Structure 1
Amino acid sequence: MVDPMHFEAHAAQYARARPPYPPALWDRLRELDVLRPGRRALDLGAGTGQATGPLLAAGLHVTAVEPGPRLASRLRDAHPDATVILTRAEDIELPDASFDAVVAATSIHWMDLDVLLPKVHRLLGPGGVFLVWRNVFGDPDVSTPFRDRVAAIVADRDDPPRRWPDPEEVAATSAALTANGLFSVDETTTFRWSIELDERQVRDLFTTFSDWSADEVDRAGAAVRELGRRVLEHYQSWLIVLRPLDDSPGAAR
């Protein structure tokens, strides 16, 4: 298992290298009436605020939970209007029905769902929604020379294949989030987008990937240099919208 605190050791790169979530995702949240000013949102595994910032900009009151001290410090500096709690998502202790939305943005795969899901269920108020989304770096439906080089780097690894569900697969994540019967999926949506990156941006970004070694990052950087010093990356972002089930105090009415 790769180290979930890898990001803490690379907080500076994380803050500058991780791309924002695509505008189409935020547009969909507006259509769902999630981004109504004055609503209360809980951002789990907030990192340096890639989701916290847009939630605040939409007028929400945001409580951001981040276990890494360096990441949390950068989060506070960048978004002083957020309430930042330094702890794991599984360890938060907050009043029942405190939030209109709970968000896990490219973070849910690090969390123990047996502990987390009952807690999220309890924290959501009437009509509350649980939103899980992530960026997938590399669109499997789009082939590019750079992605061919990335695939070759990954293929050279000696590590055995992962045995747990692929966290980049929306279907596997949806199944895991609904397995205990506390939530149902309202919808899943995938957004496709692209971004141009130079060698330094690729090095910074790939350094933040928890399963990439320094040597592999060097190889990815060299690939950019050899392919003309800039590459167009095609990415996906998916969104899962979940509602609490049953008639408990935290469930939707």
Structure 2
Amino acid sequence: MPDPMHFDRHAALYDRARPPYPDSLRDRLRQLGLLTPGRRALDLGAGSGQATRLLVDAGMDVTAVEPGPALADILQQRFPQVHVVRSTAEEYVPEPGSLDLVTIATAVHWFDLDRVLPSLRQALAPGGRVAVWRTVYGDTSVPPSLFRERVQAIADRRDAPARPGPDETETEAWARLLTAGGLFVVDHREELGWSIVLDADGIQALFTTFSDWSEAEAEQAAEAVRELGGTVVERYVTPLIVLAPAG
């Protein structure tokens, strides 16, 4: 089983290497009326603040929950106006009716949803929403690049422990899982495609932050970039699921 505290041990690298979420995600959240100045937002599993920044930039009143002490330190230093809570999502219980928006960005697969979802349902104010998204590293809707073929070959050589929950590409399965308890319904669902250019150092740093990749495997991925000309265009997907309270 991958270790969720892997990220905290690589906190500085995680903060530097993880790409920001695409502008199309921010734009969609605005279009859905979720990023509203003055409203109360909770970012669960905030890491070093990639999603927190969207909330802060929108002028929201933000609480961020992060269990990793090193990541929480980065988060608090970067956003002194944010109330940072050093806790797991399961242990943190927000006040009933206190939140207009909850964001869960590249973190939901670590949560015990039987504990977290009831707490969030009670915490939402009327009209409140829960927005769940993640970065999928690789777009399976397009033919694989030469680099993606090399990445798959590296992965095929070992028996990697599976992450909890459905596969990261299975957006509909995640939507079913998030609504299975009858507490929420899907209010909006889509997949946002985007791309980024990375060099060998960027790939090595990024892949080192993955909880199911070893440092040796990350170096192999970087070597593939060098052999393919020094840079690669990575096509990623950000699945977005917005939940509304049922009933």
> What is the TM-score normalised by the length of structure 1?
0.94
Q: Residue 12 in 1 paired to residue 6 in 2?
A: no
Q: Residue 80 in 1 paired to residue 80 in 2?
A: yes
Residue 105 of structure 1 is matched in structure 2 by 105
Residue 62 of structure 1 is matched in structure 2 by 62
The amino acid across from 2:214 in the alignment is S
Structure 2 CA distance for partners of 1:183 and 1:233, relative to 1, 3 Å: same
> How much does 1:189 deviate?
1.0
Q: Residue 210 in 1 paired to residue 211 in 2?
A: yes
The CA distance in 2 between the partners of 1:161 and 1:126, in whole Å, is 37
The CA distance in 2 between the partners of 1:64 and 1:170, in whole Å, is 25
Retained in 1: the 8 A contact 2:38–2:61? yes
Residue 226 of structure 1 is matched in structure 2 by 227
The amino acid across from 1:240 in the alignment is I
What number of residue pairs does the alignment pair up?
A: 246
Cα offsets for 1:115-142 (capped at 9, x unmatched): 0000010111111001001110111123
The CA distance in 2 between the partners of 1:170 and 1:236, in whole Å, is 11
Residue 129 of structure 2 is matched in structure 1 by 129
> How much does 1:70 deviate?
0.2
SS of the counterpart of 1:132? strand
CA-atom RMSD in angstroms: 1.3
Q: Report sequence identity in percent.
A: 54
SS of the counterpart of 2:169? coil
Q: Residue 31 in 1 paired to residue 40 in 2?
A: no
The CA distance in 1 between the partners of 2:62 and 2:163, in whole Å, is 34
> How much does 1:158 deviate?
2.8
> How much does 1:24 deviate?
0.8
Structure 2 CA distance for partners of 1:90 and 1:221, relative to 1, 3 Å: same
Q: Residue 168 in 1 paired to residue 153 in 2?
A: no
The CA distance in 1 between the partners of 2:161 and 2:75, in whole Å, is 35
The CA distance in 1 between the partners of 2:106 and 2:76, in whole Å, is 19
Note the residue ranges of structure 1 that are not aligned, 5 or more in a row. 247-253
Cα offsets for 1:14-37 (capped at 9, x unmatched): 101111111111111111111110
Cα offsets for 1:25-66 (capped at 9, x unmatched): 111111111111001100000000000012101111110000
Retained in 1: the 8 A contact 2:138–2:237? yes
SS of the counterpart of 2:135? strand
Structure 2 CA distance for partners of 1:205 and 1:85, relative to 1, 3 Å: same
The amino acid across from 1:146 in the alignment is F
